[in-house]
């Protein structure tokens, strides 16, 4: 048979099949690429925003004697080359940049301070490129001096600017170090970092800043600073008698990272640590990095994203294939007369099946190629699904087109009885269906009870349960749908109107084959509602997380007290409606070493500031609100500016904008003798740069900026946009499925209506009859799909942890916002009604002779 002629005759159906295949292939090939691009971008952002000391590979070793000392730069360079030679292949593309080396002492006390202050010795291999000398000169070679009858080294060093006032140091000063093995340092220069904000300095923050630490059990903070010395200083620096360590930093270039390589990167990091340890000749070499943890955290977030994407994209592909199969079935129905005639004239079964397959392939193959080609306009790596997706679509469409005619036309002049409404299912089929219906809720219960598997990666159980629940809902709908309709049929049979009885009777006696096309609506609505509910839950939790992070519309925090005149200027800014004063600090609980974080604030004013926000605080007029770690103490004493006795007035799990764990408490600001305000909680609409200008030493944040930061994360935005795209696509496919189901049954419906028209059925009655025949199944399926979509988030429970996309807050508030599901259901019902009216309008133009043949009427 002539395939091109058949395509021209059935051009409309072929065009519909072409468009459906094109859209399905574009979605199934393009969305995974866009998702993988966002995964890569999210990984690079995670590695870039993390401190370099966490992402970079740092090889470190301690020196405990002269035989382990490195006295010249060449010794450092040779080991640097060794580390790069033994670096696993997976890490080499990410560590191509030049690193740096260092030698530092730790806990080197100033003589006579009994550990009250520490000045450590340090050397950086690239100090000349990192700092500018603003006072004095760069350090030179060390000298020697006599001290208590011994000859000790005197190191020329430089210190950072801020160390002079903070540590009480002076240019030209000589300081004795050590309590046993003495050394001296002479401050000959003062430096300033060329780029103090560079990631580089996270490895050497002890050189750039004075570090304050509180010894265990101590009450006073101890200050540490690390100085800089020249290459020549290495000749006198020894690990004998002091804590000396050497470091080689291999910086990580996140721009070369991609999410597909994350498991390999974790394995390569572990392998690098192992092979570095094998190079040990004295003290052990080890690799210090948090790369494995960062990658593990990313994998956890990625696994959740992939799980959600697998669920919604799997549902999208299933529905798209179902709609394409419906279109193929429509084309097959139109070819049925032609294929029957060909079979009766001696055409072989392969010829008949081949003709249907060739015509289908003529429509879907170019569409699949075009959709596949258009997917390359989407930036991203070419994943296996990009190739496999269009191939699956073509294979399913052509395969169904070949198999269906082969089964229908097994014998020439095939016929079937039109008076058989249903066939009794076999015992095996009933057993299988009951098994699916029982196992699906059992699987959902087990998933909630056990959570995700601890092995990492994708949990197959999580992917199977939604499919099983959808299949169970479809089976229940398919089997139980006729029974309530038969009850309605009995009720309508007692009335005098014939249309309700006939319409509901035809709906109740619909064959399983005619019900299955409409059941495509079930996964379409289920997945689209699930996607909408999850997207809404993420959005709601993101807003809550932003308020939890900031605690007010705008928050201004400073390390030191904010002057009263500055506060008044802030109050006078345009847009400022309310300013709540607060003081934060670390306080003593009781008289021991126990410490807690305290906030002194007017809670009543703060509560007014949080009106309408998703977070809040209990009222407090006196006493204290304490964290769970401080509960059960009744009245306790707090040491801050003065000793204050406070009664416990309540327990709070967190303080918005301040604390979520640990020991903390809120007290009225009036308990302070003179509040030293260092935090402002501001309500209103004011420009953040203006606030930053007024309080230059403070950090200014807002709830809106925190929300944007959460929403702009690549992984988060991809999950939400994919959910939106899938929701829209599934809604469109659901509407197309309704239209196709109307068209597929149009011929049989037209015949029935034509018979009834000979008996006096009016046009209005024909429209009502068609609506009553179609609408019940659509409404029932839509309601079941709605229930399935609303129930899936609760059924999956702990299996889908979306906190990574909502500011690290668990997403559990899946509120039943029925607007979108109701809109989808109403839209499907409207399409069904319009289709019924359109069908009867078209049938009205036909004469009865065009539908009924001689012998059709009794």
Q: How far apart are the first and last CA of the chain?
A: 37
Label residue 625 by pLDDT band (50, 70, 90): very high
| The pLDDT of residue 416 is above 60 | no
| The pLDDT of residue 796 is above 50 | yes
Label residue 858 by pLDDT band (50, 70, 90): very low
Tell me the average pLDDT across 286-305.
Answer: 86
Neighbours of 73 (CB within 10 A): 13
What is the residue-wise DSSP string for 557-623?
Answer: E-SSPPPHHHHHHHHTSTTEEEEEEEEEEEEEETTSS-EEEEEEE-HHHHHHHTTTSS------SSS
d(CA 320, CA 30): 15
* pLDDT for res 134: 95
* pLDDT for res 762: 73
Cβ distance 527 to 315 under 8 Å? Answer: yes
| The pLDDT of residue 855 is above 50 | no
Phi, psi of 37, deg, nearest 5: -60, -45
Over the stretch 55-113, which tens digit does the pLDDT of each residue have? 999 999 999 888 899 999 999 999 999 999 999 999 999 987 788 999 999 989 999 88
Q: Which long-range contacts (CB under 8 A, 24 or more apart) does 369-375 make?
A: 370/22, 370/25, 371/21, 371/22, 371/23, 371/24, 371/25, 371/26, 371/29, 372/25, 372/29, 374/26, 374/30, 375/25, 375/26, 375/29, 375/30, 375/33
Over the stretch 576-587, which tens digit does the pLDDT of each residue have? 999 999 999 988
- The residue count for the chain: 858
* pLDDT for res 854: 45
Q: What's the DSSP call for residue 481?
A: T
Over the stretch 26-39, which tens digit does the pLDDT of each residue have? 998 988 888 888 88
Strands 117-120 and 131-136 turn out to be unpaired
| The pLDDT of residue 512 is above 60 | no
d(CA 160, CA 210): 9
Pick the range with the lowest mean pLDDT from 18-32, 325-339, 611-625, 812-826. 812-826
Pick the range with the lowest mean pLDDT from 120-134, 147-161, 316-330, 715-729. 715-729
Which of 777, 283, 716, 291 shows the shortest CA–CA distance to 488? 777
Rg (CA), the chain: 38
Label residue 857 by pLDDT band (50, 70, 90): very low
Neighbours of 545 (CB within 10 A): 22
Cβ distance 747 to 853 under 8 Å? Answer: no
Query: What is the token pair recorded at 707?
Result: 């929300």
d(CA 466, CA 452): 14
* pLDDT for res 524: 80
d(CA 229, CA 224): 16
**Which is more confident, 594 or 804?**
594
Cβ distance 329 to 307 under 8 Å? Answer: no
Neighbours of 272 (CB within 10 A): 23
Which of 742, 759, 775, 763 shows the shortest CA–CA distance to 840? 763
CA 745 to chain centre: 43
d(CA 559, CA 546): 22
Residues 6+ apart with CB under 8 A from 9: none
Task: Name the β-bridge partners of 218.
Answer: none
Label residue 849 by pLDDT band (50, 70, 90): low
Q: What's the DSSP call for residue 284?
A: P
Residues 6+ apart with CB under 8 A from 308: 534, 719, 723, 800, 802
Neighbours of 402 (CB within 10 A): 21
Which of 763, 738, 764 shows the shortest CA–CA distance to 846? 763
Neighbours of 502 (CB within 10 A): 20
Tell me the average pLDDT across 305-329.
Answer: 83
Tell me the average pLDDT across 583-595.
Answer: 86
Over the stretch 429-479, which tens digit does the pLDDT of each residue have? 788 888 888 888 887 777 767 665 545 455 566 667 777 888 888 888 878
Most confident by average pLDDT, 150-164, 218-232, 395-409, 748-762: 150-164
Percent of the chain with pLDDT over 90: 33
| The pLDDT of residue 414 is above 60 | no
User: Within 13 Å of residue 496, how many CA atoms lie on the same side as its CB?
Assistant: 0
| The pLDDT of residue 800 is above 90 | no
d(CA 253, CA 55): 9
Mean residue pLDDT across the chain: 83
Domain ranges of the chain: 51-289, 519-548+703-858, 559-697
């Amino acid at each position: 048979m002539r395939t091109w002629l058949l395509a021209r005759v059935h051009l409309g159906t072929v065009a519909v099949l072409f468009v459906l295949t094109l859209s399905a292939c574009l979605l199934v090939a393009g969305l995974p690429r866009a998702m993988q691009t966002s995964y890569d971008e999210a990984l690079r952002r995670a590695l870039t925003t993390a401190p370099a000391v966490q992402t970079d590979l740092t090889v470190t070793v301690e020196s405990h004697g002269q035989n382990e000392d490195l006295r010249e730069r060449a010794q450092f360079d040779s080991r640097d080359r060794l580390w790069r030679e033994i670096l696993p292949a997976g890490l080499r593309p990410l560590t191509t940049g030049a690193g740096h080396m260092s030698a530092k002492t730790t806990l080197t006390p100033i003589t006579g301070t009994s550990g009250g202050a520490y000045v450590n010795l340090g050397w950086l291999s690239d100090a000349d490129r990192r700092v500018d000398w603003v006072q004095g000169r760069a350090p030179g070679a060390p000298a020697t001096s006599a001290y208590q009858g011994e000859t000790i080294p005197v190191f020329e060093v430089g210190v950072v600017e801020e160390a002079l006032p903070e540590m009480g140091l002076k240019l030209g000063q000589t300081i004795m170090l050590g309590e046993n093995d003495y050394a001296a340092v002479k401050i000959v220069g003062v430096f300033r970092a060329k780029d103090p904000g560079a990631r580089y300095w996270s490895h050497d923050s002890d050189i750039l800043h004075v570090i304050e630490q509180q010894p265990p059990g101590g009450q006073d903070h101890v200050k540490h600073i690390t100085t800089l010395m020249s290459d020549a200083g290495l000749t006198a620096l020894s690990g004998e008698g002091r804590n000396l360590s050497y470091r080689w930093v291999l910086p990580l270039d996140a721009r070369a990272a991609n999410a597909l390589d994350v498991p390999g990167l974790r394995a390569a990091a572990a392998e690098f640590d192992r092979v570095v340890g094998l190079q040990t000749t004295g003290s052990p070499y080890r690799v210090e990095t948090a790369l494995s943890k960062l990658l593990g955290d990313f994998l956890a977030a990625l696994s959740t994203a992939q799980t959600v994407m697998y669920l919604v994209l799997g549902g999208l592909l299933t529905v798209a294939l179902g709609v394409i199969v419906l279109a193929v079935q429509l084309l097959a129905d139109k070819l049925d007369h032609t294929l029957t005639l060909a079979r009766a004239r001696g055409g072989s079964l392969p010829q008949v099946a081949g003709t249907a397959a060739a015509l289908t392939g003529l429509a879907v193959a170019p569409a699949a190629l075009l959709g596949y080609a258009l997917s390359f306009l989407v930036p991203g790596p070419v994943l296996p699904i990009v190739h496999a997706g269009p191939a699956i679509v073509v294979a399913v469409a052509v395969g169904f087109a070949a198999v269906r005619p082969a089964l229908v036309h097994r014998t020439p002049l095939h016929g079937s009885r039109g008076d058989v409404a249903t066939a009794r299912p076999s015992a095996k089929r009933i057993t299988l269906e009951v098994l699916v219906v029982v196992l699906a809720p059992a699987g959902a219960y087990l998933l909630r009870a056990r959570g995700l598997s601890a092995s990492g990666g994708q949990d197959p159980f999580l992917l199977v349960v939604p499919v099983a629940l959808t299949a169970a809902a479809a089976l229940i709908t398919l089997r139980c749908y006729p029974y309530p309709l038969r009850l309605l049929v009995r009720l309508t049979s007692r009335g005098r109107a014939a249309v309700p009885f006939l319409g509901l009777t035809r709906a109740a006696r619909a064959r399983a084959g005619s019900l299955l096309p409409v059941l495509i609506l079930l996964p379409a609505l289920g997945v689209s509602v699930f996607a909408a509910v999850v997207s809404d839950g993420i959005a709601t939790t993101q807003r809550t997380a932003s308020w939890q992070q900031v605690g007010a519309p705008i928050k201004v925090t400073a390390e030191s007290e904010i002057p009263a005149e500055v506060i008044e200027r802030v109050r006078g800014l345009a847009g400022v409606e309310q300013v709540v004063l607060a003081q934060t600090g670390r306080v003593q609980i009781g008289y021991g070493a126990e410490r807690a974080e305290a906030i002194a604030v007017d809670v009543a004013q703060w509560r007014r500031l949080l009106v309408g926000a998703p977070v809040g605080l209990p009222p407090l007029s006196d006493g204290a609100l304490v964290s769970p770690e401080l509960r059960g103490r009744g009245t306790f004493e707090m040491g801050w500016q003065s000793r204050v006795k406070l009664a416990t007035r309540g327990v709070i799990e967190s303080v918005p904008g301040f604390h979520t764990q640990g020991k903390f408490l809120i007290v009225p600001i009036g308990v302070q003798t003179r509040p030293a305000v260092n935090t402002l909680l501001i309500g209103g609409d004011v420009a953040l740069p203006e606030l930053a200008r007024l309080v230059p030493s403070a950090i200014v944040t807002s709830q809106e900026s925190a929300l944007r930061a959460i929403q702009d994360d690549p992984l988060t935005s991809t999950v939400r946009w994919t959910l939106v795209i899938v929701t829209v696509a599934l809604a469109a496919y659901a509407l197309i499925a309704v239209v196709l189901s109307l068209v597929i049954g149009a011929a049989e419906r037209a015949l029935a209506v034509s018979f009834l028209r000979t008996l006096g059925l009016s046009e209005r009655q024909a429209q009502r009859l068609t609506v009553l025949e179609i609408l019940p199944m659509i409404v029932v399926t839509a309601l079941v799909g709605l229930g399935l979509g609303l129930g899936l988030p609760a059924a999956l429970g702990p299996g889908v942890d979306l906190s990574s996309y909502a500011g690290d807050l668990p997403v559990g508030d899946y509120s039943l916002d029925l607007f979108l599901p109701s809109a989808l259901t109403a839209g499907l019902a409207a399409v069904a009604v319009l289709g019924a009216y359109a069908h009867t309008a078209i049938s009205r133009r036909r004469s009865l002779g065009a539908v009924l043949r001689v012998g059709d009427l009794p």
